[in-house]
Amino acid sequence: MYAAAKLAGAGSVELARIERVGRDLAAALTLAQRSGPNTIGAAAAWKRAEEAALRAGDLVDALTPAEPLMHAARARIAGKAVGDGKKKASVR
């Protein structure tokens, strides 16, 4: 989401909101990994993850195009630079 927003020219405030959500989700994951099941730490991790997920949902709406998000996610997973999403002609 951050990579797609940055590529689209999002401002620093919007990027900071996305970054905070990402940090909170990462912190929830770390806490969950350190905590055993059915512990206070596990409950806190779930709560933090749920709150961050709600805030992530506030960053998009029904009119937010999914294509830039998918291109950015694919590029991150594949280890390539985020492109503009246009298909390149193959050379034979």
Q: Are 5 and 18 in contact (CB under 8 A)?
A: yes
What is the Cα–Cα distance from 43 to 36, expressed in whole angstroms?
Answer: 10
Closest to 23 in 3D by CA, of 52, 58, 43, 57:
52
72-74-80 Cα angle (round to 5): 80
What pLDDT score was predicted for residue 8? 84
What's the whole-number average pLDDT of the chain?
A: 84
What is the Cα–Cα distance from 42 to 47, expressed in whole angstroms?
Answer: 9
Per residue in 10-43, pLDDT tens?
899 999 999 999 999 999 999 999 998 999 999 9
